[in-house]
Amino acid sequence: MSTDQNTRAASGLPASEITIRPATDDDWDAIALLDAHAFGEHQNAQDLAETKLLTDSSEIVLACDGDLAVGVTMHFPMHVTVPGGTSLAATGVSWVSVAPTHRRRGILRKMFTQQHTHFEEAGTPLSVLTASEATIYERFGYGAATAGVAVALDRRFARFHPDAPSADGTRLVESATAQQLLPEIYRRWQAITPGAQPMPPVRWERFFADRENSRDGFSPLFFVVHADGYVAYRRGERVGTAGAQEARVVDFVAVTDEARSALWQVLCGIDLVDNIEVTLPPGDPLFTLLTDRRAPAIQGVKDGLWVRLMDVPVALEARTYAIDTDLVLQIDDPFLSAGGRFRLRVSGGRAEVTRTDAEPDVTTAISVLGSMYLGAHRARQFASAGRVVATSDTALHEFDLAFSTERQPEIGWFF
């Protein structure tokens, strides 16, 4: 790097011309440094090696000020289960950051433009990501498509309704046994859960490695397994208490209602633990399993998977719908060229989607369509905020109902 470039970078002076290029294997130290500054955690050697197995260096987009890397975004190939059970090809965007020395210069937009133009050319129908901030990605056509409710439950006061399925069929297992059982249970859960992605082998290896830096001061993982579900949790001391323990649920997977009920009854029977912390999808049956639905205290709601439709007809035809309908949709895409006017004809729960010049029944942004796509959010929510506009209440009603789902969507693994 030249002396002038060093001076500019150190002083915060306006950048020289920002260039966008693919990364090489020699750029990983710079990529890791950007990630550490962005997210406040240095990647250890094992975690970094695992990330390298998920993507090729050439699939990483770097923004450079001269020779200095000042921004990065990468992507992983994956599939996402959509309503109806289809596993749809998607591109998982990750490790997105811009150096704090180079903010407010349009670097993210430049990187995303090159990256997402590549996605369009590749023809993958969905792009997905997880967001550290909720205000960044709608401008690029992404909508929050799954949600999680953070819940704290004082298990000492949890009483199960007498009609709740029994706790039969559960057992405690060591990590070695869990490694043999959990991936197949997860696979069955993922196949029926909108928003869930297959777990790559390298991520299972990281999960069971259970490294110290993933524990946040809590214990190694404990496992409870049912034929149709499992829970992995840690134990530790509650913040601000004198020795009171809590169980922190890391992963809760239930293929059936019976498994969910059984696993919860086991969790609520853990001796010496007062509090259980867990993140659940909105409307989780835990609230109706208990005699006191106020016992689970909601601590907050956060988003999980964000979805952008890269190919609207392919994505809409891949999922199923709750009612039959025939609507013309105007989808506005201010970032790319996926928008336009589409006729959505649903018969027997399956859609045929074609471009049309007919007047629209419903107008909305592609980010809103992304939020609705997996069924977590309803059209009437957005209509009340002026973000879905329909020509009639009938059109809005059908648009709203059609995208609803029987099973609440959930993200499979964070990336």
388-390 sheet: strands from edge to edge: 350-355, 340-347, 325-332, 362-365, 388-390
Q: Is 105 labeled as ligand-binding? A: yes
Tokens at residue 104, please?
Answer: 């407010």
DSSP state letter for 199: P
What residues are paired with 97 via a beta bridge? 72
Q: Is 248 labeled as ligand-binding? A: no
Q: Is 97 labeled as ligand-binding? A: yes
Q: Is 132 labeled as ligand-binding? A: yes
Which residues belong to the active site? Answer: 137, 415
Give the closest residue to 313 by CA, choosing from 126, 118, 144, 90: 126
Q: Is 301 labeled as ligand-binding? A: no
Q: How buried is residue 340: exposed, middle or buried, by Cβ count under 10 Å (0-12/13-18/19+)?
A: middle
Tokens at residue 49, please?
Answer: 């090696």
Phi-psi region at 162: left, alpha or beta (left = phi > 0; alpha = psi -120 to 50): alpha
Amino acid, single-letter form, for residue 224: V
Amino acid, single-letter form, for residue 55: T
Residues 23, 15: Cα–Cα separation, whole Å: 20
How far is CA 163 from each of CA 68, 168, 285, 286, 291, rounded to the nearest angstrom?
63, 14, 13, 13, 10
Task: State CA 138 to chain mean position distance.
Answer: 15
How far is CA 371 from each of CA 137, 240, 294, 324, 399, rounded to the nearest angstrom?
12, 37, 28, 20, 13
Q: Is 108 labeled as ligand-binding? A: yes
Q: Is 107 labeled as ligand-binding? A: yes
Q: What is the signed CA dihedral for 355, 358, 360, 366, rounded to 10 degrees?
A: 20
Q: Is 96 labeled as ligand-binding? A: yes
Residues 268, 300: Cα–Cα separation, whole Å: 21
Note the helical H segments in 175-296. 175-192, 201-209, 257-267, 286-289
Tokens at residue 186, please?
Answer: 């997860």
Is the distance from CB of 47 to CB of 369 less than 8 angstroms?
Answer: no
Tokens at residue 83, please?
Answer: 């309503």
Q: Is 331 labeled as ligand-binding? A: no
Q: Is 380 labeled as ligand-binding? A: no
Amino acid, single-letter form, for residue 247: A
Tokens 């001391």 -> residue: 237
Instruction: List, as residue ranges, the binding site for acetyl-CoA.
Output: 96-98, 104-109, 132-133
Instruction: List, as residue ranges, the binding site.
Output: 96-98, 104-109, 132-133
